[in-house]
Amino acid sequence: MNGDWKPTVLVLEGVNLKTIIFPGCMVLARFHEYEKASEMILEQLGFEITQLSEFCCCGASLMPGVTDNWINLSAYTLALAEKSGADIVTLCGNCTSNFRRTNLYLSKDPKISDQIRSALGKLALSYSGGVNVRHLIEVLIDRQKDIRKLVQRQLTFKVAVAFPCQLLRPKAIAGIINAQDLKVMLKSLGVKIIDYPQEAECCGATALLFDEELGINKGMLKLESAKSHGADVFCSSCGNCLYQMDRYQNKMYPNNSDQKIPVISLPQLIGLLFGYSEESLHLRLPEVFALGFEQ
């Protein structure tokens, strides 16, 4: 798009538009472009992005076997969000699951509720369970009619989509979200989505923590499945998956760069549809942009 282009901002009603983007540790440390692109497209959709002055890990690094106190970390951030009057949009499947798990336990388990109240009370905080937690995918699916109004151009490249594992299971925590809904939405926006056999398989990022070779092999299976079925670009919306599929490709293919496939985050993909430049989205994928756009 030309340098004079300015994004149209929608005005939405009937929802709490005051929103905190919770990036999660991996995104905060390594994928600022994912967080920034999420902020850009949510603001264009009419959401009011607010920042927490303090927050902490969702507790994923401690659960489930290290300590039951992991839930206090999650409750602390939720308490801050409730105090600010904002809901949370997450960029990580694990964070989404942990926050929702905390809300569920708070409402169902008196012992855990007492533990949370006691821990938060020491910090002059409280939490009633009133913060709505949604992953970015859920927000975009819910607002897809509004998103269609903002599409400025069509993408010519073919995209393989990965879905955060923890948004699908366990059902008691994840709810009823369907991984196919994301693909349906993107197709409705004109994105060329490909199907591939390894689509529902784990990317292997978690395995990197205890068996790097196993994790790398899992990631390679998924990437090669996507590429062999026609994908030009691999798209993810989870920090762990981005870390595995993007940063670990040098270890997957140290001697064969032709095997590599460009990786992009979901909000960057949406941002391209909205007309944002690759520079504003912090994209460095000349092989993708060489494929061109349809205005």
pLDDT tens column, 137-192: 999 999 999 999 999 999 999 999 999 888 877 777 776 678 889 999 999 999 99
**178, two tokens:** 């369907």
CB burial of residue 6 (10 Å; 0-12, 13-18, 19+) = exposed
* Domains in the chain: boundaries: 18-135, 152-294
The CATH T-level fold of domain 152-294 is Rossmann fold (3.40.50)
Report the amino acid identity of residue 275. Answer: G
Residue 194 predicted with pLDDT over 90: yes
> pLDDT value at position 276?
92
Strand segments, DSSP code E, in 141-277 are 154-155, 158-161, 192-193, 233-236, 263-265
Identify any residues that bridge with 227 across adjacent strands, giving them in sequence order.
none
Answer whether 123's CB lies under 8 Å from 72's CB.
no
pLDDT tens column, 195-226: 999 998 989 888 888 899 999 999 999 999 99
pLDDT tens column, 45-68: 999 999 887 888 888 776 655 677
> pLDDT value at position 8?
66
Report the amino acid identity of residue 57. Answer: C
CA–CA separation, 246 vs 250, rounded Å? 8
> pLDDT value at position 127?
95
CA–CA separation, 233 vs 193, rounded Å? 10
CA–CA separation, 12 vs 45, rounded Å? 8
> pLDDT value at position 2?
47
CA–CA separation, 199 vs 193, rounded Å? 12
CA atoms within 13 A on the CB side of 59: 23
Intrachain domains 18-135 and 152-294 with the same fold? no
The CATH T-level fold of domain 18-135 is Glutathione S-transferase Yfyf (Class Pi); Chain A, domain 2 (1.20.1050)
> pTM for the whole thing?
0.90
Residues ≥6 apart with Cβ < 8 Å to 209? 215
pLDDT tens column, 64-109: 556 778 889 999 999 999 999 999 999 998 899 899 999 999 988 8
Rounded average pLDDT over 247-268: 88
SS3 106: helix
